[in-house]
Amino acid sequence: MLAIRLMQLFSENKEDFTKLAGILGLYFQIRDDYLNLCSQEYAENKSYCEDLTEGKFSFPIMHAILTRDLELKRYCITLLERFGSFAYTRNILQELDTDAREEIAKLGGNPLLEDILDQLLNWKGAGDVVKTPLGCDQGEKPETKVRGQDTVQEPL
């Protein structure tokens, strides 16, 4: 927006281009997110699904994550388990717990902080992946909103 205003300093045109610039910026970003995941040409010129490699929460990825579709969520959990993401997370949590306890000891110890760390260890009992979210019956259908001709899963 600053660039537009700077150009207008040297122009007769004083129209407000803020909304158009915002729309075009959003359009180009979402287009780039889409092509990053779906375009063969994009993959050949950059790299295959670079946004996934870089851990970016692009537009299509955010749409999938924000779904209320229980089957899709279960599938995602299955993939996380299959690819070792839960095991990796548990290892990192254990390392951080150990590091925090060592640092507390170096600083002279603190029983209250150690108690807090003990309480935070509840993740160790969560080894069994929850297949059905709490409060949801197996037969419950997620709510959907219809936009245009496509059915879109959206959080409510």
pLDDT of residue 145: 36
Alpha carbon distance 120, 100 (integer Å): 12
Percent of the chain with pLDDT over 70: 81
For residue 154, the 8-state DSSP code is: -
pTM of structure = 0.58
What angle separates helix 85-106 from helix 111-120, to the nearest 10 degrees? 170
**How is residue 91 written in tokens?**
């290892």
pLDDT exceeds cutoff 90 at 144? no
pLDDT exceeds cutoff 70 at 147? no
Rounded mean pLDDT of 31-37?
Answer: 91
pLDDT exceeds cutoff 70 at 128? no
